């Protein structure tokens, strides 16, 4: 029997975790979580056996500290943002001038980063007593992978994954961190934060030409970090077939060569064919494959230590089903993608262009 944990959606400041079982789910923002499960109806996820209240242990967590945030972001940015946050607490929502349009809601940015830190702590501690620790999933907003060290960008205020990566190095002594970003947009903030770091491998797949225009295939890191950034722009229309090849031919070999101590995932669900912000053709089944494959990779390479962080996803229906199917993968349950995916809306993938991109990245990185 698989066990699962859930989020107490009536309280922002709760971590729902059951360390000895299969999955950890973190709630960092009430409205986003309600929207995620509400689009399907909570009873729908209950029918998926994802919400089993008798199996839930609730742990408190706290917002990230300034020291946590400044492990990635400049202190001048953080101190300036504190003033903006004070204003946001009064007005509820403010516009932050930065590298792009970014909206901040009071303390949500610190809560999201703090939730990720607590989740990483829980997974790492579980791995010390359990050879098959739970997979973590941080359902948080705001997302983080566009936030650059000196400021916000693209809906992102703090780099949630980047902050967690520095935390796991500093607090847990896990030196080698492998970050996978399968959001449809390039995770430029995470990329910039670790571009010269040999101990953090950042791997991004994203749609070629999409926002923010970074993540070119030749961007491989520099200085001591040369070779530990891998950016694979995929041609528009790429879908399940392409992504399976990317995992087998690029992601897995890179991770196996890097030999990480933990795997962190920027899990963006905006590459779904129904998402309005881009034009890749991932399906719910694609995300099930990625979740199952990354979980297995973590088992093989780093004692199962693996934490997912929610990034993009702007069609609530496809987001809900795809996240839910990721949970199925974590739990070892069959995919429910056939209940949602509609093959009739898919068109032929540009497999020749995709293969050329894969072969080029393999050559660049000697895979």
Residues serving a catalytic function are: 146
Distance CA 19, CA 134 (A): 6
Residue 150 contacts residue 69 (beta carbons within 8 Å): no
Q: How far apart are the first and last CA of the chain?
A: 39
128-155 as b/e: b if 16+ CB within 10 A: eeeeebbbbbbbbbbbbbbbbeebbbbb
Distance CA 87, CA 247 (A): 44
Three-state DSSP class for residue 180: strand
Contacts of 149 (CB under 8 A, 6+ apart): 72, 73, 74, 77, 159, 189, 192, 193
For residue 240, count other CB atoms closer than 10 A to its CB.
20
What DSSP assignment string belongs to 112-139?
Answer: HHHHHHHHHHHHHHHHTT-SSPPEEEEE
Task: Please name the helix (run of DSSP H) or strand (run of DSSP E) that holds residue 34, with its range, or none.
Answer: helix 30-38
11-23 as b/e: b if 16+ CB within 10 A: ebebbbbbbebbb
Q: Measured on CA atoms in the order 111, 262, 208, 275, is the torsion positive or negative?
A: negative
Residue 176 contacts residue 165 (beta carbons within 8 Å): no
């Amino acid at each position: 029997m698989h066990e699962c944990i859930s989020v107490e959606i009536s309280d922002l400041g709760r971590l729902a975790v059951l360390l000895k079982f299969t999955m950890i789910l973190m709630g960092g923002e009430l409205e986003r979580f309600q929207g995620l499960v509400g689009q399907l109806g909570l009873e729908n996820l209950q029918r998926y056996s994802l919400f089993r209240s008798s199996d839930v242990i609730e742990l408190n967590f706290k917002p990230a500290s300034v020291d946590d945030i400044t492990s990635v972001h400049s202190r001048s940015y953080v101190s300036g943002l504190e003033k903006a946050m004070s204003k946001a607490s009064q007005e509820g929502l403010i516009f932050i001038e930065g590298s792009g349009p970014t909206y901040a809601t009071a303390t949500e940015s610190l809560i999201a980063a703090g939730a990720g830190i607590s989740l990483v702590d829980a997974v790492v501690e579980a791995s010390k007593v359990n050879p098959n620790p739970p997979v973590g999933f941080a359902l948080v907003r705001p997302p983080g992978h566009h936030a650059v060290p000196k400021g916000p960008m693209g809906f992102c205020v703090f780099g949630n994954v980047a902050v967690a990566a520095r935390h796991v190095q500093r607090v847990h002594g896990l030196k080698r961190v492998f970050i996978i970003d399968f959001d449809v947009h390039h995770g430029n903030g995470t990329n910039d934060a670790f571009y010269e770091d040999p101990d953090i491998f950042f791997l991004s797949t994203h749609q070629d030409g999409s926002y923010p225009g970074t993540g070119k295939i030749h961007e491989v890191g520099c200085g001591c970090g040369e070779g530990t950034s891998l950016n694979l722009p995929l041609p528009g229309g790429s879908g399940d077939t392409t992504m399976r090849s990317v995992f087998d031919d690029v992601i897995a070999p890179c991770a196996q060569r890097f030999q990480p101590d933990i795997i962190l995932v920027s899990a963006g669900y905006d590459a779904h064919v129904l998402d309005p912000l881009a034009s890749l053709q991932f399906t719910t089944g694609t995300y099930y494959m990625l979740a199952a494959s990354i979980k297995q990779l973590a088992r093989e390479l780093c004692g199962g230590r693996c934490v997912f962080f929610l990034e993009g996803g702007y069609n609530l229906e496809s987001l809900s089903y795809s996240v839910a199917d990721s949970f199925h993968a974590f739990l070892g349950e069959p995919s429910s993608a056939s209940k949602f995916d509609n093959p009739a809306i898919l068109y032929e993938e540009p497999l020749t262009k995709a293969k050329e991109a894969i072969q080029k990245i393999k050559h660049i990185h000697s895979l």
